[in-house]
Amino acid sequence: MVKQVVLILFLLTSSVNADCVYEASGEVQGDKIINKVEKVVCDEEEKSNFVVQFLTEEKYQNALIMFFGIILENI
């Protein structure tokens, strides 16, 4: 039972997609690299799923309180 709950919670967590661009430049003198500059630019886009929105956004506040109230009442 606990494994199933953990698995469900793991699957409902949100993921972050990142588009990364890597750039490197430098000068070569005598078979050695000098003035090496590396640049990594990532554009992160977080996709928020319904569970995260339901637990955090104010517009679902009343529904969340009612949900937990009903669950506690039936335990």
CA pair distance 28, 22, nearest whole angstrom: 19
- Domain residue limits, the chain: 2-73
Q: Per-residue confidence of the chain (75 residues) as pLDDT tens digits? A: 777 766 666 666 655 566 788 888 888 888 888 888 889 888 766 666 777 777 888 888 898 889 889 999 988
End-to-end CA distance of the chain: 16
CA pair distance 41, 23, nearest whole angstrom: 8
* 8 A C-beta contact, residue 63 and residue 28: no
* 8 A C-beta contact, residue 20 and residue 40: yes
Nearest Cα to Cα of residue 20 among 46, 36, 42 = 42
What is this structure's pTM?
0.36
